[in-house]
Structure formats: structure tokens, C-alpha cells
Structure 1
Amino acid sequence: MKSDARSGPISRWDRTLIPVEDAANFVAAFFIFALMVLGIAQIVLRTVFNAPLSGYIDLVELSMAGMAFLGAAYTQRMGAHIRMELLLGNLKGRPLWAAEVVGTLLSMFVVGVLIYYSFEHFQRSYELGDTTIDAEYPVWPSKLVVPVAFSIWFIRLGIQLAGSIRLLFNPSLAPEGVILIKDAADQARDEAISADATDDGGR
């Protein structure tokens, strides 16, 4: 599944958001890589030099928010979130896009609630000067990541909602900013093309 980009206004919003999603996903990947390097350093320093890193557990805790949430909007754009497609896969035309509209609205409601309460949680942490227990690192930057990541995700859902409503009114239009369901044959063909491209690049 993937988002189909054309030339309409929804696609322009789509293309505008893509660099933001890619940057957030890169930061999430960086957190994962940094945590891996930090883990190796912790093992080596503790085992060989008997000098573990100070505040290692605190850094692991603070990095979890970035790793868990910054890639959410990117994953939504790629259609990689877990979706129940047993029903959607058998729908066509207006019933399909009506179901997508309902599902996206529900998702936006849930994400909107999470934005509100996670931002309140960040504000409380910032005002109280909350810190980690061991090294006393400030906690609020990690907590701020959550509403920021959810806000990007909310905008992505808004773009998909607009694209679904557009197709609900006129299913014959070219898809813009929506997730397209692929059958097994299409998915296998895309994977084969991707594998061929990788092989050609490695020669």
C-alpha cells in the first residue's frame, strides 16, 4: 500500500508534509542507532573497564518517545500501520471511500485526544522541572516529542481524509493523498521490481 501522488491541491499538501515526515522518521532512526551505539559502549565500559556510563538508563528512557512516535506519520503515509482490510479489500467505489472516511475520522479523534493530553503532560513536566531519577536529566524535551509527533500524524490523517472525501464524491478521479490497497499480485510485483532495482544497483 502507498499514497498515490498526482497534481491536485491535496497532493501539494502531501508533498509539503513528506519532508517533515521523512525528517521525523530520520530522527527516530537516529535515536535507535544512537541507543545501539550507547548500549555497546555501556557493555564495553562495564565489562572491560568496570566503569559503566553514568545515566545510561535515563538516556534509554528519554529516547523511547522519539523511537516510538516520530515515525508514526511516515508509517501512516506508507500504509504500514496495521489495518483490518478483510472488509475494505472487498469494497469498491463509494462504499470503500465512505469506510475510509469513517476510519480516518475515528483515527483523527483518537490522535487529537492524545495530542491534547500529551501536551498537558509536557506542560506539567516543564513547569515542575521534572527530571530523571538517576542523572537528573530534564524530562520535558522527551515529553514534548509526543505531541509534536502526534501533530504531524494528525495532519497526515487530515490529508488522507480530504483525499477520501474527494473520492467519495467522485470515485472516478485519480487518487490523491490516500492509501491504496494492493492485492497479493500487485504487492508481489512491486517487491520483485524493488528487488531487481536493488540487484542492479549492487552490480
Structure 2
Amino acid sequence: MTIIERYIRVVDAFNRRVGRFAMYLIFALMGVLFWSSITKYAGSPALWTLEFAQFIMVAYYLLGGPYSMQMGDHVRMDLVYGGWSPRRKAAVDAVTVLFLIFYLCVLLYGGISSTTYALEYGERAHSVWRPYMWPVKLIAAVGIFLMLLQAIAELLRDILFLRGVSVNHQSEAGI
């Protein structure tokens, strides 16, 4: 196994575990929103529930994104793409993922900068609850970083496929 194949397998395995964990955050979100409904109808609505639900949704979305990419569940225009050969799909994907990698690098730079600011200055949300912002910003930066790693893995997988080496996704390989 080459170092590139090993990188792909390690990133796939890690993002699969993180993504499987993130799937269960939906239950935490349901619990928070259920508690919000109970306290609202009891006459004293909890001030933290809506904002906390938003924070959970950020984690759900950003930590689950790399796993979604790995499984091929992202939206793409299959009207044309679906009829292409696997080789042509890999060639087009290898080019288009470069734009995604550039975008994720810019996003990661902003995420790290924003997280650093939140930590240095003790940034808090502008709400009655006033939670610290660094935890959700850190989760966002980590999610973006994991998406970047997965995008690079997808690029390398496509390049290897075009060279005649097939590196299956974890679910396909039965790992």
C-alpha cells in the first residue's frame, strides 16, 4: 500500500467515525427542542434552548459533511454526470474538487482566525443567554479541516483511479 492509499484509508476511517458520531447529534437536537417546547408551555421558556439547538446543528452539519462527501451523498447534477463513464467522472471530479479545496482553505483560514479571536477576547453571543462563542467556532473549524482532508482524499482517489489503481471507499471495501 502506498502512502497515498494509506492517507486515503486513514482519512476515510477517521471521517467515517466522526460522521457516525455526528449522526446521533440529531437526537441531542431533538431533546433540546423538546425541552424548549415543555418549558414554553409550562410558562417559563428556557432562554438557552434555541441558541444551543443552533450550536448542535452546526456540529451536526459540519462534522457530518466529510462523511457525506465520502459516501457520495452530496448534491450533484446527475442529468449529465450520471451518463458519463467512471473514468470521465473521475477526471471531471479531479478538476472540480480543486475549486472545493481552494474554497475550504479560505474558509479554514477564516475559521481559525475567528476561533482565535473568540478565545483571545472571550467573545460571547449577543443574546440574553450570552454563551461563549469559541466552542462552536472551534467545532466549525475542525469540521472544515476534516472536509478539507476528505476533499484531498477524494482528489487523490480520482487521480489513482485515472492511473488504474482503485481505492474503494470504506463502505465499499467492507472496512
TM class, shorter-length: 0.7 to 0.9
Per-residue CA deviations over 1:71-129 (Å, capped at 9, x if unaligned) read 11000000000112333334336544321210111111111111111221212222221
Distance 1:15 1:50, change over 3 A: same
Task: Give the corresponding residue for 1:127.
Answer: 120
Which is higher, the Rg of structure 1 or of structure 2? 1
RMSD: 2.3
Task: Give the corresponding residue for 1:62.
Answer: 55
Q: Distance in 1 between matches of 2:20 and 2:101?
A: 24
Task: Give the corresponding residue for 1:176.
Answer: 167
Q: Please, which runs of 5 or more residues in structure 2 have no aligned partner?
A: 170-175
Report the number of matched residues. 168
Task: Give the corresponding residue for 2:139.
Answer: 145
Percent pairwise identity: 23
Task: Give the corresponding residue for 1:201.
Answer: none
Task: Give the corresponding residue for 1:196.
Answer: none
Task: Give the corresponding residue for 2:19.
Answer: 25
TM-score by length of 2: 0.82
Task: Give the corresponding residue for 1:72.
Answer: 65
Q: Please, which runs of 5 or more residues in structure 1 have no aligned partner?
A: 1-6, 179-203
**Structure 2 contact 87–161 (Cα < 8 Å) conserved:** yes
**Structure 1 contact 28–66 (Cα < 8 Å) conserved:** yes
TM-score by length of 1: 0.72
Q: Distance in 2 between matches of 1:27 and 1:177?
A: 22
Q: Distance in 2 between matches of 1:41 and 1:95?
A: 50
Q: Distance in 2 between matches of 1:10 and 1:53?
A: 50
Task: Give the corresponding residue for 2:173.
Answer: none
